[in-house]
Amino acid sequence: MERLETGIHSGRLSTAEYEANFSDLHPRLDKHEALVAADRCYFCYDAPCMTACPTSIDIPLFIRQIATGNPIGSAKTIFDQNILGGMCARVCPTEELCEQACVRNTAEEKPVEIGRLQRYATDTAIQAGRQFYERAASTGKKIAVVGAGPAGLAAAHRLAVKGHDVAIYDSKSKSGGLNEYGIATYKAVDDFAQKEVDYVLSIGGIEVRHGQQLGRDFSLADLQSKYDAVFLGIGLAGVNALRVDGENLPGVDDAVDFIAGLRQAANKADVAIGRRVVVLGGGMTAIDAAVQAKLLGAEEVTICYRRGKEHMNASEFEQDLATSKGVIIRHWLAPKSILSQDGKVAAIEVEYTKLANGRLVTTGETGVIAADQIFKAIGQTFETSGLGSLRMESGRIAIDGEGRTSLDGVWAGGDCVFGGDDLTVSAVAQGRDAAESINRTLAAGAQPAVAVA
């Protein structure tokens, strides 16, 4: 039987199995379900859920609007704060943000389903093609945004609303950033990322130039000379190296590339996967790669993480999702070398780890896990080419509280800046807030003084 075949193969499952495996993780609530879910909200006056939302959406208000049969008004409440509220409703770790803070989240009760209600409202408005914003009169100002991910799109939309003309430069052939190339397939079905991009761009005044890479096709200095302001939302384009023997063997792949390939595949049956897969890492990328490897028909998928369960960046919900799909998560294991047979990956040698005086050390005890494919999900890195003398902090762009960088007229936000939490919703909040800062600065008719020392 083909699914037991060793090595890396495509077409391990039937068409029906692929369809079932990659269907919507949390299908949209219907009208009755939404009314029942909305009815559970206490509409708290101090709404801790709202404080926990990085974009500060007025959650009790949008839930009340759903409860009174006004999902379109509810969508406007959401989009006023977060124009990518549709994707955030699908990908936000609500169990760690708004729903964790919900007063109904107790031992006896579950929280109000804020994320699913947000999706109900935003999907209703997007499907109806309902636009809420008109552009202000033209300011005559031109702004360059580098990166068409959540940070760049949120910044561009807010700037366009204010009457500025925006040019977005992105190295890829499609807009959306990791919404298009990174988010797990089952969280963004039916090409939602592109539908949302179209919705955001329909405000007008935003031109997107694909295939344009900062550092290769233009420099930051070029943009500074041509535009009134620049926003950088370039995410994290690089990946950390494993630095163990065998890293370059065929079958050792980067998890983000694997996920991007899967997201772009017209047919899931074309995506090859190993029979025994090992994923190295402990974040959302590791979980997404492992779950999707399993859903593609891998027989055995093991996540190896070098620290304990409590140290994993992936949320409890994500970890439970992985184990519910049959993924094995093993802790306190570091990769030592990758073993091969006939020039291909055959196994990974791992070494046990522990904390000694707060530092992670290996114990000397080793083990071997059979594998024909290994995914590296050990973190992304920021690529600095084309940025000139921009001040960095811990390898990312340093910004002040308004998103201003150390260079006059240059703002930044999202994963590429220091101090963020690498979530879609936080990138949206930073893009939006930087746009407000740019608008204030241009309206005042002056560029800011160097804000970041």
Among residues 10, 70, 139, 171, which is the contact residue for ligand FAD, using CB under 6 A?
171
Which of ligand SF4, ligand FAD, none has residue 118 at its interface (CB below 5 to 8 Å by kind)?
A: none
82 within 8 A of 88, measured Cβ to Cβ: yes
Q: Is 148 in the site for ligand SF4 (CB under 6 A)?
A: no
Both structure tokens of 373: 């494919």
Buried b (16+ CB within 10 A) or exposed e, 4-23: eeeebbebbbeeebbeebbe
Using the minimum distance from each CB to ligand FAD, give the nearer residue, 49 or 67. 49
Using the minimum distance from each CB to ligand SF4, give the nearer residue, 100 or 384. 100
Minimum gap (Å) between residue 318 Cβ and ligand SF4 = 22
Binding segment for ligand FAD among 200-208, 210-218, 322-330, 368-376 (CB under 6 A)? 210-218
Minimum gap (Å) between residue 290 Cβ and ligand FAD = 11
Minimum gap (Å) between residue 49 Cβ and ligand SF4 = 3
| Number of residues located near ligand FAD, criterion CB under 6 A | 38
Minimum gap (Å) between residue 243 Cβ and ligand FAD = 20
Q: How far apart are CA 354 and CA 82, in angstroms?
A: 42
Return the amino acid letter for 425.
Answer: V
Q: What residues between 27 and 86 interact with ligand SF4 by CB under 6 A?
A: 41-44, 47-49, 59-60, 63
Using the minimum distance from each CB to ligand FAD, give the nearer residue, 38 or 184. 184
Binding segment for ligand FAD among 77-85, 108-116, 201-209, 419-427 (CB under 6 A)? 419-427
Q: What residues between 399 and 418 interact with ligand FAD by CB under 6 A?
A: 414-416
Q: How far apart are CA 453 and CA 448, in angstroms?
A: 13
Buried b (16+ CB within 10 A) or exposed e, 221-255: eebbeebbbbbbbbbbbebeebeeebeeeebbbbb
Minimum gap (Å) between residue 48 Cβ and ligand SF4 = 5
Which of ligand SF4, ligand FAD, none has residue 203 at its interface (CB below 5 to 8 Å by kind)?
A: none
Among residues 67, 262, 284, 304, which is the contact residue for ligand FAD, using CB under 6 A?
284
Q: Is 112 in the site for ligand SF4 (CB under 6 A)?
A: yes
Q: Is 123 in the site for ligand FAD (CB under 6 A)?
A: no
Using the minimum distance from each CB to ligand SF4, give the nearer residue, 44 or 392. 44
Buried b (16+ CB within 10 A) or exposed e, 268-287: bbebebbbbbbbbbbbbbbb
Using the minimum distance from each CB to ligand FAD, give the nearer residue, 26 or 311. 26
Using the minimum distance from each CB to ligand SF4, give the nearer residue, 112 or 303. 112
Closest alpha carbon to 387 in 373, 379, 397, 372:
397
Write each residue from 215 to 244 as x if it is in contact with ligand FAD (CB under 6 A), else as -, in one continuous string: x-----------------xxx-x-------
Write each residue from 91 to 110 as x if it is in contact with ligand FAD (CB under 6 A), else as -, in one continuous string: xx------------------
Using the minimum distance from each CB to ligand FAD, give the nearer residue, 8 or 290. 290
Minimum gap (Å) between residue 291 Cβ and ligand SF4 = 28
Both structure tokens of 417: 């800046």
Binding segment for ligand FAD among 25-33, 179-187, 274-282, 292-300 (CB under 6 A)? 179-187
| Number of residues located near ligand SF4, criterion CB under 6 A | 15
Binding site for ligand FAD (CB under 6 A): 91-92, 146-152, 169-172, 177-178, 182-183, 187, 213-215, 233-235, 237, 256, 259, 284-285, 288, 414-416, 422-425, 427
Contact residues: ligand SF4, CB under 6 A: 41-44, 47-49, 59-60, 63, 102-104, 112, 114
